[in-house]
Structures are given as C-alpha cells and as structure tokens.
C-alpha cells in the first residue's frame, strides 16, 4: 500500500464542492501529504476550513476485482445473501434505489434488471466504483463515497428504497451512517440491511456473545478485513437510534442449488447461521419525538 493514501474531506464549511476538491488536491500536492508516513488515520489541517483524514486505502480496494469474481457466483453471496436481500426488497419496478456500499454493482445490476427506475450506488472503494460502472452502464450512477461522511450530495427524501448489503459491520459509526440513509429515504421508504449473524460471529470467534469489538482478520483469499462484532440487541438499538423500526427479519437458509455446487457450505449454512437481513421502515415522527430520537 506504501504511498497510496486515501483522502476524505471531513469539514468544509464555506466552500462549494468543486472548490473543495480543487483545494484539497492543490493543498495535498503542495504539502506533499501523499508522501507522509501515515498512521492508520491522521487528521491533517489544510488551511481555510478544511480538515481531511489521511488513511490507508479503503479495505476492499486492493482486491476489488477478486471480490467481484468471487461474489458473482459464491455460495455466501450469490446463493445466500443476495436471494434473501432481494426477496426483502420486494417489487422494485419504477423505484429509485440507493445501493450503499455497492461494491462491484452486483446488486445494482439485479435491481435494474428487475425494473428499478434508477440506482445510485456508492462505495468507499474507487476500484469498486469503476467495476460497478462497467457492469451497470444504464439506469445507474456510481460515486466513490465513504459512508462515514454525510451524504450531502443527495436530496432529502429522494429514494424509495435503500439497500446496504454486507457493509454495516465495516462501519465505525453505524448510527451516523444509518441516519443519513434515513434522511434520504422518502417517508414511506424502506432500508434493507444484511450483515453477519451475531451467533455466527460468536461461534467463529468465541469469547462473550455480548462483546462489541473490532475483528481484524485475513480471509482465505488473502483479503485483509476489519469489521465489528456485536450482539443482536446492539444492532437493533442502532436501527432505533437512527429512526428505523424493523418490519421483517430473515435468517436465510441456503438456496437449494448450493447443495450441489457447494455441498460443504450448504451443510454448514443449513444448520448454523451466517448472515441476517432486515427490512426497516422509518419510524413515524411522533414516535421518534416520544423516544427522543
Ligand atoms: C462485502 S462487500 C459488499 C459489496 C456489495 N454490497 C455486495 O454485497 O456485493 C463490502 C463493501 O462495503 C464497502 N465499504 C466498506 N466500508 C465502507 C464505507 N465506510 N463506506 C462505503 N463503503 C464501504 C467496501 O468497499 C465493499 O465494497
């Protein structure tokens, strides 16, 4: 990864977007922050009102193409997560959909094929965004964006549906990201979220089921990943804190096709949960006021 740093504008009070991007690029070039050794995350003051974080590239960036290759057909993605999440999305004909953490566009492709009016995809990894653009050239647009930052380029109440598949456990401030998705959803909109099943994480990692902690590990394709492990109560509390209520919960079972294509995965997932998926709706305003949210 060496000298490849990733920059995110955190605060930019008085400048418009084009100016900000120009200022960041210019100032970074002048001060040569790209060549500074960086700890995991550094705050760099850039003058004016700008502060940016300099950190390693987004975790999925180095293996974006390999992820696409894998997730297109893998047991856990193609025959377990996607069928459950798409079923929770329901009919999408004519809907405007936000794909938060879109990866290489596998969901966007399917949503467009199922009749979505248009899909806006975002992901922290620019390489993922490039792959998504190639995969879904029509009725979709994609933008590199870190969900830890506000979605200030999206209008309030402008989406019918948001999908966030296998992303939320990678976020440090999940409530802030969920609040932004809440803001851009129409009052009758839905958010479909999938994540690691907390029991699955507990069985794999041991210790206390009730731990809320960061796991850093290398998966068998050599992918270095970082994600949060937490009990179900914590996940539900975060949904509520962001103004969502749970409409449906699915603990998926493997698609029958998995039995022949990936028999070992099938046997495991048939008896032991890997992921969990939720369909959320926006809590009515009066309930949010009463709950102080
Ligand atoms: C397991 S992949 C899932 C991709 C896609 N949703 C799918 O199911 O095929 C996780 C994705 O989350 C993205 N991601 C991780 N942290 C993110 C963040 N802070 N903001 C935006 N995207 C993030 C990664 O770049 C990666 O594309």
Residue nearest to atom 26 of ligand 1 (CA): 103
Distance (Å, whole) CA 116 – CA 251: 25
Domain of 255, CATH number, reads: 3.40.50.150
Provide the domain count of the chain: 2
Residue 263 CA to its chain's centroid (Å)? 29
pLDDT band at 288 (very low <50, low <70, confident <90, very high): low
How many angstroms is it from 61 CA to the middle of ligand 1? 10
Q: Within this chain, do residues 129 and 246 fall inside the same structural domain, yes or no?
A: yes
Listed residue (124, 129, 128, 107) closest to 116, CA to CA: 107
Residue 153 domain flag: yes
What does the pLDDT average to over 180-191? 98
| Boundary of a domain, candidates 22, 37, 55 | 55
218 and 276 housed in the same domain:
yes
Dist CA 151 CA 125 (whole Å): 16
* Mean of pLDDT values over 268-280: 98
Together in a domain, 182 and 216 = yes
Residue 98 alpha carbon to ligand 1 centre in Å: 13
**pLDDT category of residue 286 using cuts at 50, 70 and 90:** low
The ligand 1 atom at the shortest distance from the C-alpha of residue 81 is 8
* Residue 192 pLDDT: 99
Domain assignment present for residue 75? The answer is yes
pLDDT of residue 57: 72
Ligand 1 atom closest to 194 (CA)? 8
Rounded distance between C-alpha atoms, residue 194 and residue 169, angstroms = 9
Same domain, 27 and 69: no
* 21 domain-assigned: yes
High-pLDDT (> 90) share of the chain, % = 75
- Do 43 and 104 lie in one domain? The reply is no
pLDDT in tens, 210-268: 999 999 999 888 999 999 999 999 999 999 999 999 999 999 999 999 999 999 999 99
Ligand 1 midpoint to CA 146 (Å): 9
Q: Which of the four pLDDT bands, split at 50, 70 and 90, describes residue 284?
A: confident
Q: Are residues 191 and 214 in the same domain?
A: yes
Q: Does pLDDT of 171 surpass 80? A: yes
Residues 35 and 67 in one domain: no
pTM (2 d.p.): 0.82
Q: Whose CA is nearest to atom 1 of ligand 1?
A: 166
The set of protein residues with a Cβ atom below 6 angstroms from ligand 1 is: 58, 60, 71, 101-103, 106-107, 123-125, 128, 146-148, 165-167, 170-171
Is 11 a member of any domain?
A: yes
Q: Which among 48, 71, 98, 113 is positioned nearest to 221, based on CA atoms?
A: 71
- Note whether 14 and 128 are same-domain residues: no
Structure-model confidence comparison of residues 130 and 288, the more confident one: 130
Res 280: pLDDT? 98
Model confidence band, residue 112 (pLDDT cutoffs 50, 70, 90): very high
Q: Which atom of ligand 1 is nearest to the CA of 106?
A: 9
- Site to probe by mutation for ligand 1, drawn from 121, 124, 165, 192 as the one with most ligand atoms within 8 Å of Cβ, is 124
Q: Looking at residues 138-144, what average pLDDT do you find?
A: 98
Hey, which of 144, 167, 226 would you mutate to test ligand 1's pocket, going by the most ligand atoms within 8 Å of its Cβ? Answer: 167
Q: In what order do the strands lie in the sheet with 118-123?
A: 140-144, 118-123, 96-100, 159-165, 185-196, 275-282, 244-250
Does one domain contain both 28 and 168?
Answer: no
Please say whether the beta carbons of 180 and 145 come within 8 A.
no
Q: Are 91 and 48 in the same domain?
A: no
Is residue 1 situated within a structural domain?
no
Q: How far is the CA of 252 from the centre of ligand 1 (A)?
A: 20
pLDDT surpassing 50 at residue 198: yes
Mean pLDDT of 61-69: 96
Ranking 115-124, 182-191, 215-224 by mean pLDDT, the lowest is 215-224
Among 55, 104, 121, 170, the mutation site with the greatest number of ligand 1 atoms within 8 A of its Cβ is 170
Q: Which residue has the higher pLDDT, 70 or 3?
A: 70
Ligand 1 centre to CA of 124 (Å) is: 7
Residue where one domain finishes, among candidates 33, 55, 77: 55
Identify whether 131 is part of a domain: yes
pLDDT at 59: 86
The whole-angstrom separation of Cα 88 and Cα 174 is 21
Contacts of 113 (CB under 8 A, 6+ apart): none
Which of 123, 171, 173 for mutating ligand 1's site (highest number of atoms within 8 Å of CB)?
123
**Domain range for residue 21?**
6-55
Mean pLDDT, residues 70-78 taken together = 98
CA of 251 to the centre of ligand 1 (A): 21
What pLDDT is recorded for position 25?
37
**Are residues 11 and 103 located together in one domain of the fold?**
no
What mean pLDDT, rounded, does the chain reach? 84
Model confidence over 8-62: pLDDT tens digits?
A: 322 222 223 333 333 333 333 333 333 233 333 433 333 333 334 445 678 899 9
Q: Are residues 48 and 69 in the same domain?
A: no
Across residues 93-113, what is the average pLDDT?
Answer: 98
**DSSP assignment of the chain, as one string?**
-TT--EEEEEE-SS--HHHHHHHHHHHHHHHTGGGS---SEEEEE-STT-EEEEESPPTTGGGHHHHHHHHHH-HHIIIIIHHHHHHHH---TT-EEEEET-TTSHHHHHHHHTT-SEEEEEES-HHHHHHHHHH--SSEEEEE--TTS--TTS-TT-EEEEEEES-GGG-S-HHHHHHHHHHHEEEEEEEEEEEE-HHHHHHHH-S-TT--EEEEEE-TTS-EEEEEE--HHHHHHHHHHTTEEEEEEE-----THHHHH-HHHHHHHHHS--EEEEEEEEPPHHHHHHTT-
pLDDT of residue 289: 65
Atom of ligand 1 nearest to the CA of 99: 6
């Amino acid at each position: 990864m060496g000298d490849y740093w990733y920059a995110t504008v955190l605060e930019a009070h008085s400048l418009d977007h084009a100016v900000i991007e120009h200022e960041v690029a210019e100032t970074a070039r002048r001060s040569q922050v790209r060549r500074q050794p960086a700890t995991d995350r550094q705050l760099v003051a850039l003058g004016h009102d700008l502060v940016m974080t300099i950190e390693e590239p987004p975790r999925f960036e180095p293996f974006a193409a390999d992820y696409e290759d894998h997730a297109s057909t893998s047991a856990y993605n193609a025959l377990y997560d996607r069928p459950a999440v798409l079923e929770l999305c329901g009919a999408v004909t004519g809907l405007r959909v936000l794909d938060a953490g879109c990866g290489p566009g596998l969901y966007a492709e399917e949503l467009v094929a199922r009749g979505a009016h248009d899909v806006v995809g975002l992901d922290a990894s620019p390489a993922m965004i490039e792959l998504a653009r190639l995969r879904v050239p029509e009725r979709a647009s994609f933008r590199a964006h870190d969900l830890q930052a506000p979605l200030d380029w999206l209008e309030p109440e402008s989406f019918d549906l948001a999908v966030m598949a296998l992303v939320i456990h990678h976020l440090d401030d999940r409530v802030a990201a969920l609040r932004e998705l809440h803001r851009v959803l129409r009052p009758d909109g839905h958010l479909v979220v999938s994540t690691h099943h907390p029991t699955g994480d507990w069985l794999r990692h041991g210790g206390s089921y009730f731990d809320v902690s960061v796991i850093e590990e290398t998966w068998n394709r050599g992918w270095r990943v970082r994600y949060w492990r937490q009990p179900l109560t914590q996940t539900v509390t975060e949904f509520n804190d962001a103004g969502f209520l749970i409409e449906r919960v699915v603990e998926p079972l493997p698609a029958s096709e998995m039995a022949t294509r990936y028999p070992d995965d099938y046997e495991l997932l048939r008896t032991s949960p890997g992921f969990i998926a939720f369909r959320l709706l926006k809590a009515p305003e009066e309930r949010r006021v009463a709950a102080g949210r």
